[in-house]
Amino acid sequence: MKPLMIQPEADEAGTGRLFRKLMLQVAVVAAVTHVAFSALFYIHEVDFLAAVNVVSVLLYGVVYWLMVVDQYRTFAWALAVGEIVGHAMLAVFLIGWDSGFHLYIMLIPPVMMVSPIRSSQVKMIAVTTMMMTYVLMDYSLRGGSAVFSMPAPVLTSLHYFNLVAVLVLMVFLTGLYYRLVLAHQKKLKELATTDSLTGLQNRRSIQFLAEREIENHRRTNARLSVLMCDLDKFKSINDDYGHQVGDEVIKSFAALVTRLIRQGDLAARWGGEEFLLILPSTSADEALYVAERIRNELQLTQVVSSMPDLAVTTTMGISELLETDSFDALVARADKAMYQGKEGGRNQVNIA
């Protein structure tokens, strides 16, 4: 089996979904906020900034639409960044540093880390540029006099509104990043414990789970059986029809097994065309019923939709847990019983 690893495409897809979700929500919040700012500036006769906020609302409408149709993400991101920086610089220049509009620039660097920019170097350059822009704004505009003089209470209200808005957005971003980390952790766990072709447990995972089940059953004196399955003449299928068809056969068999076993049973791709089932609270005779049901169902199933004449069978071996059994000994007996079935003509179930 190929070694498990996180594919860059999958990682980028997850980050892309996060960025799209982020930008949709940012566009809505920003548009509503700028509507409020436009009304505020109009009331206080700062008509130029009122008009600028109307333009900002339209720009965020474009950003939202681009994200809805899921096209031109980079352009939408650049448009949003340009609006935030340009609006902040203009507002600070016209009504003063104390208005707090410069604070929105602090939100850009963390969002850049989940932007569509693929190159880490380009991201770092963009983040560094944004940080330098903020520092330069602080240096050049903090002590400057405002072009428009606004009442002190209004300016104070603006400052605290912008401060609270930025803090809320930071909390939102932190939560979003946390969910991304959890999603990646879940993906890592799936990749480490499941077979990529079938979605069943892989060999390492089933061994860990089976050993835990064995210990639980020993404490309760319950019965437990394992079932080793092998698809008959699978090499011939690969040789005659190709590995793609072989993969379809394996996936179909895995789906069939998943459908027929109980919720508490465990199924794994043991390797190649071999599968291992762990059947808790099950005797060998009860496991025989499960095995025969799988074997009979497989004979009635068209495993490859485009090949109705392709018949696939399986041979299985069953072993029941003994008092002194280790996991390896339990599986070895089932494996031996399965190979006895192979020697006896295939397409049958043997109990060890």
Buried b (16+ CB within 10 A) or exposed e, 302-323: ebbeeeeeeebebbbbbbbbee
Long-range CB contacts for residues 243-250, cutoff 8 Å, separation at least 24? 245/304, 245/307, 245/310, 246/273, 247/197, 248/303, 248/304, 249/303, 249/304, 249/310, 249/312, 250/197, 250/198
* Model confidence, pTM: 0.59
**Widest pairwise Cα distance in the chain:** 97
Range of the domain at 177: 8-193
Q: Which residues are catalytic?
A: 273
Helix (H, G, I), strand (E, B) or coil at 303: coil
Domain ends where: 162, 193, 224? 193
Same domain, 75 and 99: yes
pLDDT digits (tens, 9 = 90+) for 5-46: 334 344 455 566 777 877 888 889 889 988 988 898 888 888
pLDDT digits (tens, 9 = 90+) for 263-293: 999 999 998 999 999 999 999 999 999 999 9
Structural domain tally of the chain? 2
Asked, for residue 100, whether it belongs to a domain, the answer is yes
pLDDT digits (tens, 9 = 90+) for 47-101: 888 899 999 999 999 999 998 888 777 888 888 889 999 988 988 988 889 988 9
Please give the Cα distance from 316 to 228 (Å, whole number). 5
What percent of the chain has pLDDT above 90? 41
Cβ(113)–Cβ(157) below 8 Å: no
**Mean pLDDT throughout 138-163?**
86
Cβ(247)–Cβ(184) below 8 Å: no
Distances in whole angstroms, Cα of residue 296 to Cα of each of 197, 225, 334: 24, 20, 19
Which stretch of 42-46, 82-86, 294-298, 316-320 has the lowest confidence by average pLDDT? 42-46
Please give the Cα distance from 299 to 66 (Å, whole number). 51
Same domain, 208 and 189: no
Q: Return all residues near 296 (Cβ < 8 A) that are at least 6 apart.
A: none
Same domain, 134 and 164: yes
Same domain, 38 and 180: yes
DSSP classification of residue 28 = H
pLDDT digits (tens, 9 = 90+) for 179-200: 777 877 877 777 788 888 998 9
pLDDT digits (tens, 9 = 90+) for 211-228: 999 998 888 889 999 999
Cβ(337)–Cβ(352) below 8 Å: yes
Same domain, 171 and 212: no
pLDDT digits (tens, 9 = 90+) for 151-169: 888 888 889 988 998 898 8
pLDDT digits (tens, 9 = 90+) for 109-137: 887 876 767 778 888 898 899 899 899 98
Please give the Cα distance from 30 to 20 (Å, whole number). 15
Asked, for residue 123, whether it belongs to a domain, the answer is yes
Q: pLDDT class for 315, splitting at 50, 70, 90?
A: very high
Asked, for residue 2, whether it belongs to a domain, the answer is no
